[in-house]
A = this chain, B = another copy of it.
């Protein structure tokens, strides 16, 4: 089984950390490719960053389709390009935010989210609403760390995240915490140990969900809303998307 984990930003250190976290939980027969686009923002901290990153996600899925891929993971907590990606493949495509929400709902009655910058909270909030998990989430916390600080200043970042997780634990009447950034993937063991309740991280959660779906023979439905997009002309720098073959 070959799973392609797409880091939608363009920072190699994050791609590496995401890949390592993915491999740490992958089953014996699962091969992980962690990739990142050759174009786009170095981190995703706004609707604008996210919108641009979607093109990178699409490129990575198209690349994956050429190689043969059994499942995709989109490793940014806003799940950018999720439905577009699902249209482009028969394989399952899992976003790390949805993966974390699903898993959290299976082991706790209510959870909180700890994310990076305050302005990304609205993205998590919208995803909770859109996916149907808003009643499972008590509160969204921001540790007020720029995403790249997770790699540039890991000790401080870890400390701030743990502090915010402990605040969530003691104030929110919850049973689990969801980490709200792909860049936290490799910190999960330390956070779990320090905080003392289940910590759900999306990259690892998504790998296991992807394996689960492949194991069931299930993938993105090609009947109805998620069928391959109608082939058509694209112009300019997106000309290569013209008349994509759908099979």
Contact = CB atoms under 8 A, between A and B. Distances in A.
A106 B74 CA distance: 13
A228 to B, nearest CB: 8
A159 interface: no
Contacts of A197: 221, 223-224
A169 to B, nearest CB: 7
Given A58-B48, A84-B47, A225-B119, A213 B106 contact: yes
Interface string A134-159: 11100000000010000000000000
Contacts of A164: none
A79 to B, nearest CB: 11
A49 B86 CA distance: 13
Given A84-B47, A132-B132, A218-B107, A39 B230 contact: no
A221 B236 contact: no
24 contacts: A27-B215, A39-B234, A39-B235, A39-B238, A40-B235, A41-B233, A41-B234, A47-B87, A47-B226, A51-B55, A51-B84, A52-B234, A52-B241, A102-B106, A105-B131, A109-B122, A117-B230, A121-B225, A131-B132, A132-B133, A132-B136, A175-B224, A198-B221, A208-B212
